[in-house]
Structure 1
Amino acid sequence: MMFHIFLLCLLCTALGAPPTDDLRSPRDTTKCGYTSCHKTDPEKLNVHLVPHSHDDVGWKRTVDQYYFGNNEKDHMGIRGVEDIINSVVQSLNEDPNRRFIQVETAFFARWWETQTDEIKTMVKELVNNGQLEMVSGGWSMNDEAATNYQSIIDQMTPRVGWQIDPFGHTNAMATVLAELGFDGLFFWRLDYRDSEARQTDRRTEFVWRGNSDLGSKSDIFTSLLYENYNAPLYFCWDIQCGDEPIIDDKSSTEYNVKRKVDQFHKRIAAQAKNYQTNNILITMGGDFTYQAAEMYYVNIDRLIKGFQEFHPEINMIYSTPSCYLNAVRESAERNGITFPLETNDFMPYATSRHTYWTGYYSSRPNSKRFERQGNNLLQVAKHLVAFENAKNKSFEGDVIELKKIMGVMQHHDAITGTEKQHVTDDYVRMLTNAMQEAQKSIHTMIFDLLKYAVDDESVGATLNSCLLSNVTRCAESGEQRFTVAVYNPHGHTVSHFVRVPVVSTKYSVAGLHGGKIPFQISPVIDTFSKVPGTQSLYELTFKATDIPPLGVNYFYITKEDSTVNEPNLIEPSDKTVLGTESTGIEIDSTTGLLKSVTLNGVNQVVSQQFLYYQSSNASGGTRSSGAYVFRPSAGTEALIISDKTEFVTYQGEIFDEVHQKFNDWLKQSIRVYKNENYIEFDWIVGPLSYVNKLGIEVITRYITDLDNEATFYTDSNGRQLIKRVRNHRPTYEYTNEEPISGNYYPVTSRIVIKDKMKKIDMAILNDRSQGGSSLTDGQVELMIHRRLMNDDEFGVEEVLNEREYGEGVIVRGQHYLFSGFMSSLPDNVRLLTLESFAPNKLLLRLEHPFSKDDDEILGKPVIVDLKDLLTLYTIKSVSETTLGSNQLKSDNVRLQFPIKGNEKATGKELTKEEDETLKVTLNPMEIRTFILDVEARQLTRITGSANIHLPHTLLTLLFIAICVFH
């Protein structure tokens, strides 16, 4: 994330220089990067001890409680991360041989802001001489299942990935780290069978190619930790550990150096068998360790001395992940060692035969949706801040807190839903406050964009976002007249359907320059009666057409006198065929359930069911469903909630829809917009009640007669589709003890099945992360809500039983059904990021969102001319950087690791021809990042289309409707 709160010029560029020989020399701040690494011995086994502390940015405690050490009862006497960093810095300063890695930037930045200049100078020296290494560089150690790649990119910077605790690992994450310029990636959590097979076959280290379209540019060297990320058993010397210290006083009856060294040597010998080079990495630390850093370091010092005395054939050194990577590379080149090439991901994660961590894909669904809203607002706000820079106005301070909390929300115990309830509440508090702060000046920026004064009565002076519009609460829409501002964050002209809760049935809608806008008013599907605030009984829908690229348009909504005209409320209909000949649905007249779907003029049998799994309990030593784990009761199938609904259909000029009521806690509307090519499913689930004293996990299932041959596809963090084969894993022998949860995968944006014979693809797009699968050919299911009775005993120590207003929470969400969608989407460039970078400089990311396999036309390279890209700016020059924008692409020299039977990784940078013409080429699945040197243009009014010709993709919906009231 672009904070620049503290200096991170902490890894020097002299990466290829030889390491130092003298381990006991005084601190030398001229040595940095790989030159600061302790020397390895080519003739010995080199044991790299990596001191670290894994500090969750919220889990059992809130972020503040973990930082300051409050709520001590929840975590084994742990005080706070503030104490950990203080303690580590002092201990590192005592001895230049010692090393430490700092991971969670959210905590470190907070600590840094309160330090004296003297301490800051000391820390810079510690970093520059290699004692303190910043790894990953993320505000948090992000989850990899439920996160979107855009949010991952936003929060990352340094050179080594340290993903030791997320619950499975994705191709997109590997690709992002490679494109950020990282040298390597370390992780631990993967399926227990996969881990065992890799340990046996010495495939614990490999080159991971995250994206076949990008080829070797997406390669990253990957190393699996041996057992876990904790110190070896009996070798933790922190406050909460209680392990026997190493006593090196030979005159003492407690002297134990040789015994402890021999004990540690057994662990080393076992680990070394599973790695190819003469280097192994051992983590020395764990959750919230190094509160008493000096105690820990003194024992490690004695351990190293003990090996020098009793096992001189072992070269044991303090190290860091970067130093280990460099040593592995040198050893491989020296000894002709090559590493296998991997192309698969590491999802789902299982720790035993009956324990699949596939429940967290869907846990706390409201939090997952709220995080998406936060990201939408952040991207919009960054655009607007960048525009204001053209007028020499700075609003950067408004978005700082939102950038921070969005980084925190990516944490593997935040967006995952695997934290305690009071921590969830705190995340919501922080995100709400940050979103409100970001909105504080958006109205000013938008009015500037339209060249209106803030106090112009025709527009108004205040702006609010209706964050509760999904529960029919938008107090300002009850006013006599209000204005809706619709901003288009894409690089292409787009139209969008706007839905606003309203309190009446008689309105008029006008455009910015006059003229009536067609609209419909429909009854809301639910009034959410327990939610406080102004309750709306209706919903007004209109189409905001042709919003210009990175542009905004206003729509005026006026409540009319009841005597003036007829109500605009659409009336119930007895029709069961809704939509048009090209796009429509058919409802079964007896059951009220979906019967068929027409898309692209082709009718396809599609039905839909809502079902639930009864969760297992923990009796008899078995595992129960919990925040992490999904495990239905043994031998059960999903049960249908209702095979018949109460339903009513509505028809209008803009859309047709059906309202379905399955029972008191399950409702849905299915909407068909005229002249569009998708079907919208808007469901409301909850409050859930336990069934037979067991937890309940609700799914929706889409059923067709397509033959997908046990194969389906899920996205990887919103990017490429990954092939999944039922009851199969490509890298190890899969056993099918859990046929349901073992076939669940994370779905962050879409799940697809394909019938090769019929040449039909069916895709379901979702509005948040969910677990999903195709358990039977022709079917797709997604889990939409969970309420459980047991803890799965993986540390959170709390049942996933969210409550609100005295009962279980209600969840509302949307699915979008597309058929044959890949061939119908328009062109192949997406504006991924636009934000201010420095005075007269902008950060721009362009993305090719399609794979070579998606479409013959869309899957081809595309050329983008940057010259006239931005209306407000003239682009004077362009520099290409790594994905994280922290290093010029031409300066990024990554470590190269030899691959078995394959080429080395290569990188792409801005060519001279591209630089001179400002035309850049995007290859399939490629993201390119540029720093634009710009000059503000002199313009009088911006209401028409900006000169941005970036084509369109429906794979991400980044619109935000902003209401302006007076």
Structure 2
Amino acid sequence: MNSIIYFYGLFFIGSFVYSKPFDKATCGYDSCHPVDPNKLNVHLVPHSHDDVGWLKTVDQYFYGRNISYQRAGVQYIIDSVVHALEEDPKRRFIQVETAFFWQWWKKQDEETRSTVRHLVNSGQLEIIGGAWSMNDEAAVNYQSVIDQFTLGLRTINDTLGECGRPKIGWQIDPFGHTREMASIFAQLGYDGVLFARLDYRDVNERQKGLNTELIWKGNPDLGETSDLFTSLIYRFYDAPATFCWDVLCGDEPIVEDEESPAYNVERRVNQFHDYILKQKVNYKTPNILITMGGDFTYQAAPMYYKNLDKLIKGFKRFKGDTINMIYSTPSCYIKAVNDYARSHNLDFERKTDDFIPYASDQHTYWTGYYTSRPNSKRFERQGNNLLQVTKQLVAFEKTNKKDFNGDITKLKEIMGIMQHHDAITGTEKQHVADDYVRLLTEAFKQAENNIDEIIYDLLQKDFSINKEKDNTKVHLQTCLLSNITHCEASNSKRFSIAVYNPLSRSVSHYVRLPVNSTKFEITGSGGELLDYQVLPSIDTFKYVQGIKPSLYDLVFYAKDLPPFGLKYYHVERLSVNVNKPNLIQPESGKYRLGDAESGFAINPSTGLLNSVTLNGETVPVKQQFMFYRGANGTNENAEKRASGAYIFRPAKDFPNAELIGDKAEVKVYTGDLVDEVHEKINDWVKQIIRIYKEENYIEFDWLVGPIEYRDKLGVEVVSRFITDLNSDNTFYTDTNGRGLIKRVRDYRPTFNYTNEEPVSGNYYPITSRIVLKDKERNLELAVLNDRAQGGSSLHNGELELMVHRRLINDDKFGVAEVLDEKEFGRGVTVRGQHQLVLGTSGKNAAAQQHDIAQRKLLAPWVFVGAASSQDHSLENFEKYFKFEFAGLTRSLPENVQILTLETWEDNSLLLRLEHLFESNEDPKLSEPVTVDLEGILSLYKITSIRETTLAGNQWLEENRRLDWNSKTRHSGRTLINNLPDDLKITLSPQQIRTFIIGVESNTI
């Protein structure tokens, strides 16, 4: 590589990773109020927990509208806090949700912005967390979490500079905590995380054993780089009882005038002191953190701060010999703990598992939200899929000197909001869920504003623009309603299809589109005519208003889609005057589909699945739809807790799942591309089981709803798979779509588990896959899903995934609404897919699971456009355009993917590489791998490369983290990786590396 270009590139791109110093900074640990080694240091942390949607919409929360649901206005909070901080430099406050901060910042004048920068640079206003929202940890996928941190932290960099860069994670409200989330915080370069919700038994044992603070090993494959100091907040995140002085509270203020009959300083100090002593005995160091705030507090910040000032002053007067009470932040608290631990050779417990599931008492497991609002969960996953597609396409379009970044800004922002712990979880009010859908739908449309222009620019044969050529283009868009068999474009006489592959390796994909005809001519590259198959749709969807559902699915095989590339197809509908639809009729008595290597068998007497054959291995497998009757409850008493949006709890008198139907009406369809069995279980449960001829998995395409209540009890539907595998009470679940965690039924590795709720207590979040292993037979069976769901293995050889919920009562955790979604005047219907994989452990099982999981998370995206004009003829298209574009010149190895490629600044891109496999998962693919990026981008030459922390907001070599190893004495350690040798990047198992690359356009 040319060294002049290389160093020039590093100099240039440095200007937008490092943020501009706005004034002299004394932020960070240097800005902390001093602690006293001879006293108990009480760190008061003023904060406001501001949900990005819950009881009110995001907009309503920001502006303070709709007070009938909640008196909350974030704009007033930030306004009020800024003024209160200006009054006294000793005061501190933490800002967490960047979505709200950005909405506020855009409305401020430069004088106010300058004031805020000064408060940040002095350490008074500290950014904690810093993501677009405080994300959930159970139902989210790691790619979306990384994206929303990247968005939030870049916004903070651009507005507040280096002092705005967070050091600490603040996950005080999510309902359980995952190992992968800890790993993400560590890779972001953070020094620790604080949270509040974990199993009630775990809390008790940790407090007794002084293990309320620990070192969490977020990823066993990444060594110390994924270690994260973790502190459990004492007694949740609200202020101590009677010590909230916000307009929302009404607690007794502190009266310091000794001549007043209301004088109460000493009494109030003693009350607070009693609380301090109770908290102190649970922590190892002479430092405790007390949260002074709560949900949407500090709307009148002077009230709160005036009383806090008096409290601090009172402690100095009456308890100053033993207590040092100070305004503080999570960063300052953790630094104080670190200093003490290192000076006293203090050790902390090491943790390698997770804090999932969360139980707040013996009958209250927060495992229902793993499935709640399943359609929203699927829509969010589609949003991530489209976001990666459009980010890549926009990045490639910059070679044509066009910038469509504005088109995808809204999608980035709403995807950040969707990760919120009351959004993706499904635990918000219905009108808020509807607003999330509105925002995401609008973002989809905006992201596709210029997508056809980008695609045609990438496909054009030359750069000569003329009117005739422009007329040849069609308007391409996503058929978002294809799941209910509606797509206007694919029912045109002539239409175009562009299939984009967002993976960094070549893949093939079966395209399915709703149609009302049965005869077509599909033309691909080089004039090739493609085979196709037409099959009946799963349902007529007659109840859906405002659209005309199609009768059939058109299926064809898009073979060898190039990495980060697309293929184009031209479709002509032929004459519909045929005697019969071009459907393969079922062969009488044929209930075995596929072939000897890959297929399945249906029990002819029941119409249900009987066995599965994959990779030459045959295993008896039954698949049944079952349901739990959800517990009813009318109050917050644990034994009368209802199953609700948060909580899954089967009714006491009906503890086990019941069959929805033991037989199915069956129709069998076979063909050259796919074999299918269409099952009707009852009026509200249907399913297609299929095997594609070029795939090695069984697909279950299910349709559930509207759910019918049973005996005035809620209904929670599961799909259960029953095999003869000996799983030894053990199963494995993914952690946020990445590695697997071992689960043992009725067991927790870090505390004594009690089994009052044997079903919900064994439920875990499944965001990608759930796996059974038979060690004696060396077999693995996995079921993969297309959205977050709750799942478990309640008996040996069995797996189940919860697919839908409709309930009778609220579970009394604040949302104050029953989870009973409706649409078109009836209960909501849900459609989804599961893929079943069977293989040999250590040979092909893990590789196939990763392959399918990747192709589900980042599926080839299908754009369709009606080609109604004669200008849109095949001949005209072939004259001006190619049928294929490849963004990468070659596929990356099977165990590596480009997790992110997006524009960053002029002449630069953000590139994120990931090793997909865990160590010991696969004999070959679990090895470290080196990727040579030289010449990898077809439209760009890489001129420089420099590594950053995970979110791209800090150069990696500049990140220094606190060291928790008492045997070493250096002041900090870095996340340093091996520096690139030219453009050769080495990845170890599970490693993610992020780079800013300088690029210049190649000649097309």
| Aligned-partner Cα distance in 1 for 2:319–2:176 | 37
CA distance in 1, matches of 2:531, 2:803: 33
- 1:95 partnered with 2:88: yes
2:583 to 545, 563, 569: 569
2:154 aligned with 1:161 = no
Deviations 1:301-354 (Å, cap 9, x if unpaired)? 000000000001211000011111111111111222111111110000000000
* Mapped contact 2:898–2:912 kept (Cα < 8 A): yes
- Does the CA-based 8 Å contact 1:879-1:910 persist in structure 2? no
SS at match of 2:930: strand
Of the three residues 665, 676, 681, the one matched with 2:700 is: 681
Match of 1:447 in 2: 456
Q: Distance in 2 between matches of 1:389 and 1:553?
A: 20
**CA–CA distance in structure 2, aligned partners of residues 902 and 361 of structure 1:** 44
2:846 is the counterpart of 1:822: yes
CA contact (8 A) 1:500 1:539 kept: yes
Alignment match, 1:614? 629
1:62 aligns with 2:57: yes
Give the secondary-structure state (helix, strand or coil) at the position aligned to 2:711: coil
Counterpart for residue 962 of structure 1 = none
**CA shift in 2, pair 1:242/1:619, >3 Å:** closer
Q: Which residue of 2 aligns with 1:114?
A: 107
* 8 Å contact kept, 2:61–2:73: yes
- 1:882-893 matches, within 5 Å, as 882-893=949-960
Q: Alpha carbons of 1:135 and 1:455: their partners in 2 closer, same or farther (altered >3 Å)? A: farther
Paired with 2:46 and 2:90, the residues of 1 have a C-alpha distance of 12
- Structure 2 equivalent of residue 952 of structure 1: none
For residues 84 and 792 of structure 2, the distance between their equivalents in structure 1, rounded to whole angstroms, comes to 50
Equivalent pair of 1:10/1:124 in contact (CA under 8 Å): no
- Does structure 1 residue 372 correspond to structure 2 residue 396? no
Go from structure 1 to structure 2 and tell me whether the alpha carbon gap of 1:603 and 1:215 turns closer, same or farther (over 3 Å shift): same
The residue number in structure 1 matching 2:331 is 322
Give the counterpart of 1:634 among 642, 646, 652.
652
Task: Give 1 or 2: higher helix fraction.
Answer: 2
Q: Is the Cα–Cα contact under 8 Å of residues 679 and 817 in structure 1 kept in the other structure?
A: yes
Alignment of 1:296-307 (within 5 A): 296-307=304-315
CA distance in 2, matches of 1:687, 1:155: 34
Where does residue 944 of structure 1 map in the other structure?
none
The 5-angstrom pairing of residues 442-841 of structure 1 reads: 442-451=451-460, 456=469, 460-531=473-544, 532-563=546-577, 567-574=581-588, 575-618=590-633, 621=637, 622-635=640-653, 636-820=655-839, 821-824=845-848, 827-841=894-908
Name the SS of the counterpart of 2:469 in structure 1.
coil
- 1:857 and 1:458, CA in 2 relative to 1: closer, same or farther beyond 3 A? farther
- CA shift digits 1:756-790 (9 cap, x unpaired): 00000000000000000000000000000000000
Corresponding residue of 1:285: 293
Q: 1:200 and 1:11, CA in 2 relative to 1: closer, same or farther beyond 3 A? A: farther
Partner of 1:947: none
Task: Name the structure 1 match of 2:66.
Answer: 71
C-alpha change, 1:734 and 1:910, in structure 2 (3 Å) is closer
Distance 1:614 1:459, change over 3 A: farther
Per the alignment, do residues 906 and 647 of structure 1 end up closer, same or farther by CA in structure 2, a change over 3 Å counting? farther
After superposition, the CA RMSD in angstroms is: 2.0
Q: Which amino acid aligns with 1:604?
A: V
Q: Could you tell me how far apart the structure 2 residues matched to 1:565 and 1:498 are?
A: 26
CA distance in 2: counterparts of 1:903 and 1:351, whole angstroms: 40
Amino acid corresponding to residue 724 of structure 1 in structure 2? R
The C-alpha deviation readout for 1:539-588, integer Å capped at 9, x for no partner, is 00111011111111111121101347974322233310000111100001
How many Å separate the matches in 2 of 1:345 and 1:191? 11
Relative to structure 1, the CA distance from residue 458 to residue 815 in structure 2 (aligned partners, 3 Å threshold; closer, same or farther) is farther
Q: State how many pairs are aligned.
A: 917
Distance 1:901 1:120, change over 3 A: closer
Q: Which amino acid aligns with 2:139?
A: A
Structure 1 residues 23-38: aligned runs within 5 Å: 29-38=24-33
For 1:926, the equivalent position in structure 2 comes to 991
Cα 1:124–1:455 shift into 2, 3 Å: farther
Q: Distance in 2 between matches of 1:564 and 1:625?
A: 53
Instruction: State the alpha-carbon separation in 2 of the partners of residues 805 and 564 from structure 1.
Output: 35
Secondary structure of 1:684 counterpart: strand
1:851 aligns with 2:927: no
Shift of 1:906: 6.0
Higher alpha-carbon deviation: 446-455 or 736-745: 446-455
Aligned positions of 1:390-469 closer than 5 A? 390-451=399-460, 456=469, 460-469=473-482
Q: Name the SS for the 2:810 alignment partner.
A: coil
Checking the alignment, whether the CA contact within 8 Å between 1:862 and 1:923 is kept in structure 2 is: yes
User: How far apart are the structure 2 equivalents of 1:283 and 1:525?
Assistant: 53
Counterpart contact for 1:60–1:796, Cα < 8 Å? yes
Determine the C-alpha separation between the residues in 2 that align with 1:812 and 1:445: 31
- Superposition deviation, residue 507 in structure 1: 1.2
Corresponding residue number in structure 2 for 1:943: none
Of residues 570-579 and 410-419 in structure 1, the stretch that sits farther from structure 2 once superposed is: 570-579
Q: Secondary structure at the match of 1:304?
A: helix
8 A Cα contact 2:195 2:231, kept in partner: yes
- Counterpart of 1:822 in structure 2: which amino acid? A
Is the contact between residue 962 and residue 971 of structure 2 (CA under 8 Å) also seen in structure 1? no
Q: CA deviation at 1:459?
A: 5.2
Who is 1:22 aligned against? none
Q: Give 1:275's aligned residue.
A: 283
How far, CA to CA, are the matches of 1:208 and 1:144 in structure 2? 15
Give the gaps of 5 or more residues in structure 1: 14-27, 940-966
Q: Measure, in 2, the Cα distance between the counterparts of 1:861 and 1:10.
A: 34
Deviation at 1:458, TM superposition (A): 8.2
> Which letter does structure 1 place at the counterpart of 2:90?
N
* Secondary structure of 1:189 counterpart: coil
Q: In structure 2, what is the Cα distance between the partners aligned to 1:337 and 1:65?
A: 47
User: What are the Cα deviations for residues 810-869 of structure 1, in whole angstroms up to 9, with x where unaligned?
Assistant: 000000001122155582101100000111111001101110131111111000001121
Deviation digits for residues 179-219 of structure 1 (CA, Å, limit 9, x no counterpart)? 01111100000000001111111101111001111111111
- Worse overlay, 172-181 or 326-335: 326-335
Which ranges of structure 2 fall in alignment gaps of 5 or more residues?
1-12, 154-165, 840-844, 852-892
Partners of 1:243 and 1:423 lie apart in 2 by 31
Give the Cα–Cα distance (whole angstroms) in 2 for the partners of residues 10 and 96 of structure 1: 24
User: Aligned pair in 2 of structure 1 residues 354, 904: CA closer, same or farther (>3 Å)?
Assistant: farther
**Please, what TM-score do these two structures have when normalized by structure 1?**
0.93
Encode CA deviations 1:458-511: one digit per residue, 9 max, x unaligned.
Answer: 853311110010000111111101111100111111111110000111112110
| Aligned residues with identical type, % of pairs | 57
Q: Does 1:53 align with 2:44?
A: no
SS at match of 1:73: coil
- Would the aligned equivalents of 2:733 and 2:740 in 1 still touch at CA under 8 Å? yes
Aligned pair 1:131/2:124, yes or no?
yes
TM-score by length of 2: 0.89
CA apart distance, 1:898: 2.6
> Is the alpha carbon distance of 1:658 and 1:557 closer, same or farther for their aligned partners in structure 2, counting shifts above 3 Å?
same
